[in-house]
Amino acid sequence: MAYDSNSNGRYDNSTFDPLVKYIDSNGNNQRDTNEAVVYDTNNNNVYNTGEPVIFGTVTTTSLKTDSKLKIVDSNLDGHWEAGKAVVYDNNNNGAFDTGESIVANANPANQTGLNSDSKVKYVDSNGNNHWDASEVVAYDSNGDGRYSNSTDPLIKFVDSIVNGHWDPGESVVYDGNNNAIFDCTGEAVIAGPTPTCGLDSPPLSPDSHFRFVDTKRTGKWVTGYTVVYDSNLDNIYQSTEPVVAGTAPLIGTVLKEPVILGTLSATWPTLKIDPLVKFVDSSKNGFWDPGEAVVYDTNANNKYDLSEPVIVGMAPAVGTRLSEPVIAGPAPANLVVLAIDAKVKFIDLAMNGLWRPVEMVVYDNDTNGIYGSTDSVIAYGAQPNGAWDGVDRSGEVVVYDNNNSGIYTSTDPVILGSTPANGTALASDSRVKFVDANSNGHWDSGEMVAYDRNNNGVEDTGDAAITGQLSTSTHPLWPSAASDYLGRVWLVWNEGPAGSPNKDVYLKVWNGTGWTARQLVTSNPSPDFNNFITSLNNRTMMVVWSSNRTGHPQLFYRLYNASGNPTPTTGDIALTSSTMFDEAPSAVQDRFGRIWVSWARHNSTRTFFGIYYKYYNGTGWSSDFQLGPSIGTGLGAKSPSITETKDARIWIAWISNQTGSELLYYTSTDDTSQFLLTTGVPDASWVRCSSLPCLFPFESPTPAYDDDRPSLFQTSDGVFELFYDRSFPCGGGCTTPEQNVMYTNFTYTSNWIVNSAPTPSSFMNTITGPADYYPSAGQMSDSLCPGSNHGVCGRLWVFWNRLNTQTAAFDLIYANTGGIQVQHDVGIRSTISNITASLLVPYNSTVKIDVTLSNYGNNTETAQLTLKLNSTSFFSKTVTLVVNQTLVVTTANRTIMIMPAVWGRFTLTATLQCTCVESNSVMLGDNTLSGLVKADLPGDIIGDLSPLPDGRVDILDIADIAFGFGSSCGQARYHARDDINGDCRVDILDVAKAAFYFGKSV
């Protein structure tokens, strides 16, 4: 069975529109790659002004047809329309095959979701700071803000014949730490024999002709990439050029960053970000891939609207059929005659009178035009099973058939699911029942409907609520929310049957218009609880929770892809494995990309309590560290909340009953530089108050209440927000304490300044109102600022549990504010250098600094970036940051040499000065970032325990120089590290220099 798209009564194995024609520039009677293709609307074989140009530039008006020009008929109407893909079916087999050319890509479907990729950039030819239709769009693979060729300076070779360039047979390696020697561990041999490693390594040299085929657009070489030698430096692979490693690419392969639209002949033009340039993430990997559509999201709604410019369309996938659709059975022979059977019908879900794939095709046995259980399903559906399957199989709608006709009409109430089409046949299942609350013998709107699995007429465990809530339904508890990079709000919580300790963690996502269906995060028989969610900068969401699956509570986490539909990328990963009880985790990612997790730990007898933390540095997790006794001690220490503020401080708030009542305490640290100690942040680096834990200033010295579950964060305007729940003593004749969600906000310099009132305010209700618990709050990036700049004005969202007095169950409810708008705010996110983890700059080497800058405000800004060692400035650059832009500025072309006479300890400071006046003084907290640099001594050649310098000159360094004594450049014993004065020989001058500094250290 097939779909006759063009209604010609025959099956066509390819979709050919005779009005798609080409200009035969070379007169060879077939369409060639660069020849223009147009749509000859009036079929006069002449191009007339106004007729659509599908590809190329019209140079003459005479038109020809080529039967191999085929369309991808997305709407099955048998002819080409604007937005449909056109291909050249070279072998005329009715399928798009590898190597066949694409004449035109397809537009996305209307309302297709759009994603952002910060590496999709444009060349701002007219300097107006936004993309225009004529401007080139390219993929900035290495993120340096320029259009580059596919080079990696860490690809180096051993110049065995000392001729200054690579020759076939010479070793090529990846010098990962850029120290110009081949290290014994961690560095890859790309081609050739493996060089001697370590101290005896020959020197490694760069060669500007090395290019790699950047298959995954990483911007740097990774294992498996093909490396070629671009002899003529034209950045195009030719058959005569040597393949250093890997499989030879196709002749003509461009060895530059991908150009998405337009032509760039030269490298190094500046590339800019326009936040409205977005792409359709067909692969769901979070990054643009060749073949994925790129559009200009004019109204910034993250959806493609038909009026919006398509920068480049979607390429058809290899294997795409160009034929009329086969509905059932094998494909017919080409041009076979097709017959019609009036009983073959389809379920018209779109209600447009046209069949589309995915719409069910049936055989209407009784010819009544209504699909019933006696009708046979031909394709795109399953035969009815006579039972409601809504719990297990989505799509089965439940309605109330007012007149008991077995046919749905618009007056029938829909109890569950989407409204069906008028005339849809209805089936019954005796296990779909209702609670007759008013005892009138029939269902009324608002009465609970359930699925009585065992059909006993009584509510049992295992029965499913279709609408309403069963008394045995699960209770959603302990909400936590965070925003992903698309501005969506992710919510996690745990739930289980009332009175049962066995809970699981769930999540759902707010996409701007509604919530997705919930999905399980955990699914094991042990309790999973105390869940928390945070957003990571690699477009991943991290869910962390406490689980009893090991016999006592320990922490686990799971990662989710935040680029499309919420899908897990890992299983459950153990985060702690102690003999004590780990509960209530909280997590945040700092500006250097490290993930901090804080939690409460106690023993089984509850005679020990502590607040703990650990961090992930990009390669592994640290040990578990306790906040020192003078920082985080106290009976009942629990419920920590960890966050990072604009000035790069890490803050932890928690609950302790060390004074009797459970009150809110805090600490913070600014000891969060590029490299963290393996022993944790020193106790002295955490804020203390008179050698005691710090109590929040609004807490009463003689409280008559208990606090719990703090949620601390800083909003984009620099204000701290703190939400928590508070239990008040019973009064006024009540029998249980009153429970309320509280909040306060304040700024912090050296002292707290409470902005709203000297005491916290209740949130959403009065103290005498419903019982509220477990708040979780944060600013989400879910709202755009008013005006044309499209900055992010995120709203505050608050989630909490409220005790339902009618059902005695906990409801999960939320509220949100209007957007918070910041007009002017720029900041330094991080400074990353080539300094080793010991903060040691090798003698006579350079410091390379990458500074990441961001514009958080609602205006384009110009700012001056300055780098200093102590008080000496060595780098300065003026940068322009458009709204929402994050930019990496590198000193790669202007490094600072640590001169021979300069050694010791220095402070490296990055300062960003905006030409604007930032919105308030708190905004300046991230305009300066400092770290320690140690410039090494002359003569420090190797360390005591490794081949790297260790910051002191001792007998091992003298011995290493002595081994190379008398050698010159190119000789086996010569090592550049021993040649202290750099004159290409190791002699008495080098020994004397090392001897002068003998015994000294930095």
* Residue 657, domain member (yes or no): no
Mean pLDDT of 277-286: 84
One domain, residues 76 and 13: yes
Contact call for residues 942 and 847 (beta carbons, < 8 A) = no
Q: Could you tell me whether strands 361-363 and 840-841 are parallel, antiparallel, or unpaired per DSSP bridges?
A: unpaired
Shortest CA distance to 542 belongs to which of 616, 477, 487?
616
Chain centre to alpha carbon of residue 326: 39
Measured in degrees and rounded to the nearest 5, phi and psi for residue 966 equal: 90, -5
Residue 806 pLDDT greater than 70, yes or no? no
Kind and range of the H or E run holding 731: none
One domain, residues 895 and 958: no
Q: Interior CA angle at 726 toward 724 and 732, to 5°? A: 155
Measured in degrees and rounded to the nearest 5, phi and psi for residue 989 equal: -65, -35
Which of 916, 935, 954 terminates a domain? The answer is: 935
Contact call for residues 747 and 922 (beta carbons, < 8 A) = yes
Residue 295 pLDDT greater than 90, yes or no? yes
Single-letter amino acid, residue 105: N
**Which two tokens mark 460?**
């049992």
Residue 371 pLDDT greater than 80, yes or no? no
From CA 358, how far away is CA 3, in angstroms rounded?
13
Handedness of CA 423, 425, 429, 430 (dihedral sign): positive
From CA 504, how far away is CA 493, in angstroms rounded?
8
Number of residues that make up the chain:
1002
Chain centre to alpha carbon of residue 925: 26
What residues contact residue 85 under an 8 Å CB cut-off, 6+ apart?
A: 71, 72, 74, 102, 103, 104, 105, 106, 313, 314, 315, 316
One domain, residues 712 and 815: yes
One domain, residues 846 and 873: yes
Which of 288, 306, 340 terminates a domain? The answer is: 340
One domain, residues 835 and 858: yes
> What's the total number of domains in the chain?
5
* Residue 146, domain member (yes or no): no
Shortest CA distance to 986 belongs to which of 972, 997, 996, 1000?
972
Mean pLDDT of 185-189: 86
From CA 849, how far away is CA 832, in angstroms rounded?
6
Kind and range of the H or E run holding 960: helix 955-964
Chain centre to alpha carbon of residue 342: 51
Q: Which residues pair with 910 in a beta bridge?
A: 867, 929
Measured in degrees and rounded to the nearest 5, phi and psi for residue 33 equal: -50, -45
> What letter would DSSP give residue 78?
S
- Residue range 853-868, pLDDT digits in tens: 888 888 889 999 998 8
Query: Is the backbone of residue 414 left (phi > 0), alpha (psi -120 to 50) or beta?
Result: beta
Q: How far is the CA of 799 from the CAs of 432, 492, 641, 706, in angstroms?
A: 33, 10, 15, 20
Contact call for residues 475 and 498 (beta carbons, < 8 A) = yes
* Residue 880, domain member (yes or no): yes
Q: What is the pLDDT of residue 754?
A: 45
One domain, residues 955 and 855: no
Which of 890, 913, 935 terminates a domain? The answer is: 935
* Residue 487, domain member (yes or no): no
**Which two tokens mark 776?**
């979780």
Between 112 and 425, residue with greater pLDDT = 112
One domain, residues 363 and 330: no
> Tokens 């070379």 belong to which residue?
26
* Residue 613, domain member (yes or no): no
Handedness of CA 446, 452, 455, 461 (dihedral sign): negative
CATH of residue 929: 2.60.40.10
Q: What is the pLDDT of residue 632?
A: 59
Shortest CA distance to 17 belongs to which of 103, 126, 117?
103
Contact call for residues 495 and 487 (beta carbons, < 8 A) = no
Q: How far is the CA of 899 from the CAs of 328, 834, 841, 936, in angstroms?
A: 78, 17, 11, 10
Measured in degrees and rounded to the nearest 5, phi and psi for residue 754 equal: -80, 120
Q: Interior CA angle at 323 toward 321 and 326, to 5°? A: 90
Chain centre to alpha carbon of residue 272: 20
* Residue 755, domain member (yes or no): yes
One domain, residues 908 and 953: no
Average pLDDT over the chain reads 84
Q: What is the pLDDT of residue 462?
A: 56
> Tokens 């800019």 belong to which residue?
272
- 115 three-state secondary structure: strand
Shortest CA distance to 61 belongs to which of 81, 86, 82, 36?
36
From CA 843, how far away is CA 845, in angstroms rounded?
6
Q: What is the pLDDT of residue 767?
A: 46
Mean pLDDT of 792-816: 81
Identify the band that residue 980 occupies on the pLDDT scale cut at 50, 70 and 90: confident
E-only strand ranges, 97-143? 102-104, 120-122, 137-139
Residue 189 pLDDT greater than 90, yes or no? yes
Single-letter amino acid, residue 488: R
* Residue 604, domain member (yes or no): no
> Tokens 């105390």 belong to which residue?
530
**Strands lying side by side in the sheet with 432-434:** 432-434, 449-451, 464-467
Identify the band that residue 638 occupies on the pLDDT scale cut at 50, 70 and 90: very high
- 379 three-state secondary structure: strand
Shortest CA distance to 791 belongs to which of 746, 856, 843, 735?
856
What secondary structure does DSSP assign to 922-978, as a single string?
A: GGGGGSEEEEEEEEPPTT----SSSSS--SB--HHHHHHHHHHTT-BTTSTT--TTT
Class of residue 366 by CB neighbours under 10 A (exposed 0-12, middle 13-18, buried 19+): exposed
Name the percent of the chain lying above pLDDT 70.
87
From CA 648, how far away is CA 929, in angstroms rounded?
8
Shortest CA distance to 893 belongs to which of 193, 148, 361?
148
Q: What is the pLDDT of residue 601?
A: 93
**Which two tokens mark 823?**
């007009």
One domain, residues 706 and 815: yes
Shortest CA distance to 864 belongs to which of 789, 928, 907?
928
Shortest CA distance to 586 belongs to which of 574, 595, 577?
595
Q: What is the pLDDT of residue 392?
A: 35
Single-letter amino acid, residue 26: N
From CA 817, how far away is CA 797, in angstroms rounded?
7
Mean pLDDT of 5-19: 84
Q: What is the pLDDT of residue 500?
A: 60
Q: Count, in order, helices (H) and strands (E) of the chain.
A: 3, 62
From CA 958, how far away is CA 961, in angstroms rounded?
5
Measured in degrees and rounded to the nearest 5, phi and psi for residue 986 equal: -100, 115
Identify the band that residue 613 occupies on the pLDDT scale cut at 50, 70 and 90: very high
One domain, residues 737 and 771: yes
Kind and range of the H or E run holding 598: strand 595-602
Most confident segment among 60-74, 105-119, 345-359: 60-74
Contact call for residues 745 and 757 (beta carbons, < 8 A) = no
One domain, residues 95 and 16: yes
Mean pLDDT of 211-229: 89
- Residue range 328-343, pLDDT digits in tens: 888 888 888 889 999 9
What secondary structure does DSSP assign to 154-192, as a single string?
A: TEEE--TT-SSS--TTS-EEE-TT-SSS--SSS--EEES
One domain, residues 92 and 25: yes
- Residue range 693-725, pLDDT digits in tens: 688 888 887 788 889 999 999 998 888 899 999
**pTM exceeds 0.75, yes or no:** no
In this structure, how many other beta carbons lie within 10 angstroms of the beta carbon of residue 625? 17
- 784 three-state secondary structure: strand
Contact call for residues 192 and 169 (beta carbons, < 8 A) = yes
From CA 342, how far away is CA 244, in angstroms rounded?
65
- Residue range 902-961, pLDDT digits in tens: 577 777 888 999 999 887 777 787 888 877 677 788 888 888 776 778 888 999 999 999
Chain centre to alpha carbon of residue 624: 27
For the ranges 65-69, 851-855, 877-881, the lowest mean pLDDT is seen at 851-855
Shortest CA distance to 652 belongs to which of 577, 607, 600?
600
> Tokens 């909490």 belong to which residue?
800
CATH of residue 972: 1.10.1330.10
Contact call for residues 801 and 773 (beta carbons, < 8 A) = yes
Report the first-to-last Cα separation within the chain, whole angstroms.
Answer: 82
Domain containing 963 equals 942-1002
Residue 581 pLDDT greater than 90, yes or no? yes
**Which two tokens mark 206?**
């760069």
Measured in degrees and rounded to the nearest 5, phi and psi for residue 629 equal: -55, -30
Residue 63 pLDDT greater than 90, yes or no? yes
* Residue 275, domain member (yes or no): no
